[in-house]
Structures are given as structure tokens and as C-alpha cells.
Amino acid sequence: MGAGLQGNGSESLFAGEGRPPLESANEGMKALFRLVRRVAAALATVLLEGKSGTGKELFARALHVHSPRRDRPFVALNCAAVTETLLESEIFGHVRGAFSWAIADKPGLVEVADTGTFFLDEVSEMPPPMQVKLLRMIEEKEFRRVGDVAPRHVDIAIIAATNKNLHDLVKEGRFRDDLYYRLKVDWIRIPPLRERVEDILCLAETFLREHTSSLHRPVLELSAEAKEFLLRYTWPGNIRELRNCMHHLVSTSEETGVGLEALEGYLGSLSSGSAEPPASEGILERLWREEIEAALKKHGGNRGEAARELDVDPKTLRKRMRKLGLE
């Protein structure tokens, strides 16, 4: 589960079982992977910021895996998934009789994570009273179970994540400034998928292989139009949306090829405002050139056969060849 350069020029940081890989051909992402490894070497307190679906928990797990705590527990909690009344008990635990349904002592997640890593997802949703208690735990390395008077010591690395701008929430008075600066000992921003266009096709094909294997379906091939669509789509749901899209294609396809119609049926057409002509024209042109040259070579220069290989109309092939100067 370590890092390494892949054969296609991409670099992989971490791949968890049953999870999307952290792999990228984007130079900015490669630099981010190097930052993760440096931060993980002395893992203490890290703030991850990124839009929903960018893989914040994957990065948190990568930090843990590359840290000296790798053989210790990794415990995750989504703060938005627990009600305010239960959040303190979930994190710190409680003693018998602390409230009406506390029929026995219960350790909190920080105790479960002791000597390891505690990941707090959507930390921006944590209510103010809990922010105070979390800050104290981080600074004093101790906490109290709900209803208890005796402090307990804990040794954990804290990784917090948010899909919001915490600095803006601090200015609005919705998040404590002292906790914000305490969490932001190390800070990592995870870019959205539209900022790493080079990775879209690699990830799409990875997810296709993953889902065809798990669903026992024939391997699907993306047509040239489908690849162009994937590159131009803005992916508001980021990697999660891309992975779900590939799962849908595998589970519903009756053929071995994926064309434009299948993608538009799931994601909508580009004219609906879901896509833009990004600064990736060079990537598209390089993709077309490589695929056209490979198809022509395979079929001895026969354009009709090459068009069938690429699943495009011969007129479209001629138009693209002319645009790329391949005629």
C-alpha cells in the first residue's frame, strides 16, 4: 500500500481494499502525494479541506498508513451523522447512570483510537460546546467520559476534514478560531476532479475494471466520444460521482462498448450546463491523436476500419484527422 510510479506515468499514494485508488498523472497531485508522505512522517494534527466526493477519508487513511501509527487503530466519525445530544458520548464515551439509557459504561471512539489515528469528518458540523471539549482534549491529551469526574489520558493523532471553508466559518462566528488554528497544524487542500483532468480517464477505466470484476460482467470499453464527454464534464460530485457513473454503466450495459448515449442518459447532455470547454483541449487532441494513429496502424491505414475500431462515423474521423494535421 505504499507509493510508487505507475507504468502510465501516474503515481499511486495508497489504494485501500474496496476503495478508489489515490493515483494521479497530474503534477499538482503528485506534489500533494509527496506532501502527504512528509506530513505523515510526523503525524499529529491535520486539517483536510476539499469538496464532497474528493476522497478526504482516503487521504486520511493514506496519512495513517504512511505514519508511524500505521499498525495502530484508525477510527473514523462523521460529525454530521450523529445528533448533537449523542455526539459527546460517541466521542468520549459515558459511565453507567450518566443518563437514563446509560445502563453500562461505554468507551468512546477516542479510547478505541488510542495510540492510533482519530478521523473527524465534516468537523464544521460539530456544535460549539463540543468544539470546546475537542480543543481541550487536543491540548491537554485528556478527556472525561460523560458523567465521569476522572480524566483519562489519550495518545492519538487527529485528522479533521471539511467540505466547507473553515476560515470563512470562523469569520462568521460559526466555528471557534482557537480550535481552527489548533486543527490547522498541517493543512492539505484536496482539489476537485475538474482541476485534475489528466486523471479522469485513468480513474474511469480503473472503476470499470473494478465493477466488471465485482459484478462478473464483461469488460467495457469507452468509445472516443465517451472519453471526450468524460473529459468535458465538470464532475460536481467529483470522484464519487465518477465511480458511481462507472458502476451504473457496468450494471446496465448490454454491450461491451460504452458510447455517448449511455453517458448522456446518466449524466445529462453537455448542453445542459453540466460541462464546460475547459483548458484541456491539448489533452483531448493528444487523446484523439494517439487513438487515431493506433487504429490506423492496426488496420494498415484503412480509415473505414479505423473508424469502426474507434466507434466513430468516418466523416467524424476525417474531420478530426484534418484538425490534427494527420491527413
**pLDDT per position as a tens digit, 122-150:** 999 999 999 999 999 999 999 999 888 89
Q: What is the pTM of this model?
A: 0.76
- Cα 174 from Cα 152, distance rounded (Å): 29
pLDDT value of position 297: 85
Residue 50, C-alpha cell as written in the block: 476539499
Does the structure show a pLDDT above 70 at 244?
yes
| Distances 61 to 2, 145, 164, 209, 252 between C-alpha atoms, Å | 12, 26, 20, 23, 32
Is 51 or 281 the better-scoring residue by pLDDT? 51
Give yes or no for residue 11 having a pLDDT over 90.
no
CA-based end-to-end distance of the chain? 46
The ranges of the chain annotated as CATH 3.40.50.300 are: 4-189
Helix axes 238-252, 260-267, angle to 10 degrees: 120
DSSP 15-66: --TTS--EEE--HHHHHHHHHHHHHHHT-SEEEEE--TTS-HHHHHHHHHHT
What is the pLDDT at residue 285?
63
Has domain 195-324 been given CATH number 3.40.50.1970?
no
The DSSP line for 138-183 is HHHSEE--BT--S-EE---EEEEEESS-HHHHHHTTSS-HHHHHHH
Choose the weakest-confidence range: 20-29, 72-81, 239-248. Answer: 20-29
Q: Of the spans 232-236, 282-286, 316-320, which averages the highest pLDDT?
A: 232-236
Residue-level pLDDT at 326: 78
Specify the CATH architecture of the domain 4-189. 3-Layer(aba) Sandwich (3.40)
With cell 478530426, the residue in question is 320
Provide the pLDDT for residue 269: 61
Distances from the Cα of 277 to the Cα of 77, 223, 232, angstroms? 38, 19, 6
Q: To which residue does cell 487513511 refer?
A: 61
Q: What is the location of CATH 1.10.8.60 in the chain?
A: 195-324
Question: Per-residue pLDDT for 294 more than 70?
Answer: yes
Question: What is the pLDDT, as a whole number, of residue 112?
Answer: 97
HSE-CB for 136 with a 13 A CA cutoff: 13
**Who contacts 115 (Cβ-Cβ below 8 Å, separation ≥6)?**
69, 72, 73, 155, 156
Q: Please give the C-alpha separations between residue 226 and each of 59, 68, 304, 306, 318, in angstroms, as whole numbers.
A: 29, 43, 20, 17, 18
Average pLDDT value for the chain: 84
Q: Which residues contact 5 (CB under 8 A, 6 or more apart)?
A: 11
DSSP H or E run through 308:
helix 303-310
The rounded distance, in Å, linking the Cα atoms of 105 and 95 is: 4
